[in-house]
Amino acid sequence: MTQGPRSSLQRRLFFWLMLPVLAALPLLGVALYTQVQRSAQSWLDEGLEDTALTLAGQLDTRGDEPRIEISATMDRALRFDRQDDVFYAVLGTQGQVLQGDAGLVDLQPRPRAQQAGVTRYSNVRLRERELRLVQLGVDCGTNPCQVLVAETLHKRDALQSEIGGVVALNGLMLALLLGLAGWWATRRGLTPLTDLSAELEHRDLHRLTPLSAPLPRELVPLQAAFNRLFERLARAAEAQREFLADAAHQLRTPLTSLQTEIELAMLEPHDVRMDPVLERLRQRVQRSARLAQQLLSLARAEDRSVEVGQRVDLREIATESGQDWAHRALPVGVDLGFELVDAPALGHAFLLRELLENLIHNAVNYAGPRARITVRCGHDEHSSWIEVEDNGPGIAPADRPAALQRFRRGNQASGNGSGLGLAIASDIAARHGGRLELLDAREGPGLRARLSLPPAPPLPAAA
């Protein structure tokens, strides 16, 4: 069953962190808008009430009937407003208009008389116009007089729209800031987990040391679980290496004895018809002995207790290998040559000699009859290197990565190898912090297997 793309933990945390915030922001915005609007409306209503109090102060109640006189100048001052139309009316004790706009008696709904000293605010209509009305009761003797002051709603509507826009804009900015802060906080909070993941990405069977980075309390159990897993894997890998080493060691002695017996049998008088059989037996035993040696080399390459920081010279390693091959019988027509210069490096001499042995053995097996095999070494400012080049059929570039894997051989391979030689050489190279490359021959067809190692630091000057 195909799994879909996995969701991001950071996005999930960010979503659940921002969900209540985004749900609360509109509610907070509405509450803030309502509060600010009420405050603004109260401020504007107080302006209307001040006008009503000014008119109430002009009432003369010393006679039998209340009277009021408003000059033209005062009338203009009372009605002055740059946005709205202002109306006022002063009603006597019987509801008659003493001063102002008589049309206010037609307000809908009609305002009810208020007791002296009582102020009432309401929204009313006058001839299809919406008005805000303040009504003030004034003591005029037996019955209170009424002061009515009203204005249109233009500045109130404009103020309401402005408040709504400001609250919405600030809400959006706050949501954006909270979103950025939430994203940064989740990313920052997941940094220890990201660092732990990066550390685990670089772990393999050759690097199973316990995790020791300081982590938040919530991740300590996970770190401990990984460390226990690493411990079990290390024990399993060590058991596997010991098994390979023991098996290879136990096989080498009987195989060597069997090869010796076969070679002695070939020297003793025997029926010549048995020669092909004895030769095949000898080749099979040699191949088995070689496989046992490779398994032993593989176990040594994976042994992390082996110190690979010793100062070595690749020229000396190649020279020793050349002396060893000089006593072996090469296939007819095969020429093995050496072009060596100093190549100081850091490594383990035995493992590097085994690596070179595998590269030469691979070239001898697969380069074909009358092959020319050349071992070279050298160094530059970036690395020390050693390579084995042949003029055989080579390995196609597309097959080279697979040829470095265990028990894999090139599609054109014709020898009788086991598919372990190049894989072991690659493991030994990686163990030394170097790299093994399969390249084209310098001239013509063939294969060039090149090992590159970090150069050895210069020796300290003599005192």
Q: What are phi and psi of 125, to 5 degrees?
A: -125, 140
Whether 243 is in a domain gets the answer yes
Q: 292 and 394 share a domain? A: no
Q: How confident is the model at residue 463 (pLDDT cuts 50, 70, 90)?
A: very low
Is the pLDDT at 209 greater than 60? The verdict is: yes
Domain boundary among 112, 136, 161: 161
Indicate if 266 and 344 belong to the same structural domain: no
Residues 388-398: tens digit of each pLDDT: 999 888 888 88
Structure confidence by residue, pLDDT tens digits, 351-383: 888 889 889 988 888 887 888 999 999 988 888
Single-letter residue type at 353: R
Verify that 290 and 313 share a domain, yes or no: no
Regarding whether 337 and 245 lie in a shared domain, the answer is no
CATH number, domain containing residue 28: 3.30.450
Q: Are residues 313 and 298 in the same domain?
A: no
Does residue 186 fall inside a structural domain? no
**pLDDT, tens only, 397-446:** 888 888 888 766 655 555 555 567 788 888 888 888 888 999 888 888 88
Do residues 34 and 123 both lie within one domain? yes
For residue 463, is it within any domain?
A: no
Residues 325 and 254 in one domain: no
Q: How many CB atoms sit inside 10 A of residue 162's CB?
A: 11
pTM: 0.49
Average pLDDT over residues 252-273: 74
Same domain? 312 vs 299: no
| Tally of CB atoms within 10 A around 445 | 11
10 Å Cβ neighbour count for 285?
A: 20
* Cβ(415)–Cβ(383) below 8 Å: no
pLDDT digits (tens, 9 = 90+) for 183-199: 888 888 888 888 888 88
Same domain for 220 and 292, yes or no, is yes
Q: Which of 253, 240, 238 is nearest to 293 (CA)?
A: 253
Q: Decide if 267 is inside a domain.
A: yes
**In a shared domain, residues 332 and 369:** yes
HEC states along 188-238?
HHCHHHHHHHHHHHCCECCECCCCCCCCCHHHHHHHHHHHHHHHHHHHHHH
Question: CATH no. for residue 317?
Answer: 3.30.565.10
Q: Do 335 and 280 belong to one domain?
A: no
**Residue 137 and residue 245 share a domain:** no
Residue 105 included in any domain: yes
Q: Select from 305, 337, 360 the last residue of a domain.
A: 305
**Has residue 179 been placed in a domain?**
no
Overall number of domains in the chain: 3
Residue 414 included in any domain: yes
Domain limits for position 215: 202-305
Out of 242, 277, 305, pick the residue that ends a domain.
Answer: 305
